[in-house]
Chain A
Amino acid sequence: MRCVLLCSLLCSHVALADDLDALALADRSVADEVTATAQRWQLQWQQDAPGPASASLQLQAEQVLAPAWRGVLADRLALNGARDNALQEAYLGWQPQADWALDLGRINQRSGVALDFNPTDFFRDAGQRGPLSAAPARARGQRLGVVMLRGQHWWQGGAMTLLYAPQLGDGPTTAPWSPDVGRSNRYQRWQWLYSRQLAAGVTPQWSLSGQTGQAPLAGVSLSVLAGNAWTLYGAASGGRQPSLLDQATQTAASAWHSQWQLGGSFSSSRKLTLTVEYQYQGRAVADSQWRTLGRASAAYLQLAAQQQLSPTRRGLFVYLNWQDVLLPSSEFNAMLRHDVLDHSQLRWLEWRYHFRRADLALAGQQSRGDAGSHYRAMMPGNRWQWSVTTFF
């Protein structure tokens, strides 16, 4: 009993000493002078192995131009070789009242709640210029926006979006300074999005999307909180569409196809977040056809890549983020894409250290599977990359 009392007294004295040290440290702390800026710049240098070194400059800017008017610009300039420029976003927004707004220009419109494959993300195939990052969040930031007119209306517990994107070209161009609207606006498209709160913490989003020559595609997505550490989510879309193989072989046939995903994310108190997603892509060839038709058809694989769709029906996606894993201010990221049908895999690891104004990252990527399997065909062999990114 005496020992317990002694320990308790000792612990409280140690805690108090810690507190006094902390307060003394706080007395000496000096806050940096910070001014909010409307522009964010990133300068990145990276070395691939195998592959060349490359550098790029990224700008993101939002500016209030006048009361109710704002301009948004996102641009990425590759600084080596052909000086390839990607105009990712450039639009003008008008919001005369708090509850509605109109936007006109190139907009990166994104829907869905998943980290990887989002069945309701209708503009996922807008394309990108330059190499695509393996990290899903960074890859989405690299895609081109679509030229559109977008109207949005918000009310308590709900929102509605209606947009129209005209056809402005027939295909991509590699001209270095071209806005490349032929890549992003290959088809005339429209989309309607509607969110409504059904209960506390339950706000599904419904969507209806269409493009010239195709029946409308209906979709829904929802995410919920499950306890303190879990989020669960799912999304589905479906409609009468040509299968990827029919489209690749230009066969005029369409049938009901669905796409869906289910996922969950768990965070631990040790700064670890694990995300697992199961994906179903109904426009891909049937499992029995994959080995005989799908993987043998270059046109089929190319179309799947261009539409950012898996060429097989079922896949698993696992993503791990672990902060301060080796050192404070560092993070470890790992990703696994697993094809449930042919068991090929894409593995990616990254260790990143955050300096005050820069990130240093080392990443490795590896594909596993039979020759001609999904991920071996996509990226044969291993690849390493290290990069320095400065933010200003």
Chain B
Amino acid sequence: MSESLLLRAILCLPLLAWLPAQAQPQPDAQQLLAASDAIRNPGQSFALDNTLIEYRDGRELGQTRLRIYARADSHSGQFRNLIRFVAPARDAGKLMLKDGNELWFFDPQSKASVRISPQQRLLGQAANGDVMTVNLARDYQATLAAEETVQDGERQPRRSYRLLLQSQDAQVLYPRIEYWLDAVTRQPLKARFFSASERLLKTAYYRHYQLQLGVLRPSETVIIDGLDPGWITVMRSSGLAWREVPEQWLQRDYLPRFTAQ
């Protein structure tokens, strides 16, 4: 009888080792996502420069320089952006206003302010340029899919949480996102963006973390097109600074008036 008890105790030992791990509470996926958002975006209005270098099949096609002014919306908590094209010279001075799905494009030569659709915004590089300023936790419901090791943008293995983000809004361009963030620091590492038809639209690697406004933030994002993997955009951020962005700047009627600051 005692031998039988001893045998049972030995058999149960692995379970005892397993129990403490199970006792640890699962991290809340939505909180993980919010913590990751806070690393990508400062908590109040700011400005930054984005340089986008575009490649097709290994050949550089061109570079786009954008100046982005972001104002946190007091109601939604989402950022509203005014994006000014600095380069190339062909596009210098053009403006794009983004307030959720409301998008306006202004050309200083024709003086025309034209409303554009989210799909049309994707045709230009500005769509990549301002994707960094999106607060995902506001628009997506996150669930924790796995804790796993993933290769990060520096090609190093990183212990990470894989989150599945599902949008509540049928109008968003990326209804589903797979999102990997560091299991310890919560730094975003990688994301895969899917269309409504489950087609992979783009893969993004967040890398080259640098101390900016008191927090280690990614200074470079490498974006790989889902349909054409030879189409690659390298997006470099610089000049991140707190910046008062007046409410007046963020409406269509102000666009012809805006002067570079």
Instruction: Identify the A interface with B (CB < 8 A).
Output: 15-16, 18-20, 22-23, 25-26, 29, 31-32, 34, 36-38, 40-41, 60, 62, 64, 70, 93, 95, 98-99, 101, 108-110, 113, 115, 137-138, 140-141, 152, 154-159, 161, 195, 200-201, 203, 205, 223-225, 227-231, 233, 265-269, 271, 273, 323, 328-329, 354, 356-357, 359, 391-392
Contact = CB atoms under 8 A, between A and B. Distances in A.
B93 A231 contact: no
Contact of A203 (B110, B114, B232, B252): B252
- Which 3 pairs across A and B sit closest by C-beta, in order of nearness? A159-B253, A391-B89, A267-B120
Interface residues of B, number: 63
B222 interface: yes
Contacts of A231: 115-117, 120
Given A40-B93, A228-B118, A356-B62, A101 B257 contact: yes
Interface of B: 51, 53, 55-56, 58, 60-63, 65, 67, 86-90, 92-93, 100-102, 107-120, 122-123, 151, 153, 155, 171, 173, 203, 205, 207, 220, 222, 224, 229, 232, 234, 236, 246-248, 251-254, 256-257, 259-260
A229 B111 contact: no
B120 A265 contact: yes
Contact of A195 (B61, B92, B171, B253): B253
A201 B101 contact: yes
B89 A40 contact: yes
- Chain B CB count within 10 A is highest, among A32, A268, A323, A359, for A32
A93 B155 CA distance: 52
A93 B207 CA distance: 43
A18 B120 contact: no
A19 B153 CA distance: 9
Contacts of B173: 228
B183 to A, nearest CB: 20
Residue among A25, A95, A359 with the highest chain B CB neighbour number at 10 A = A25
Contacts of A93: 257
A357 B112 contact: no
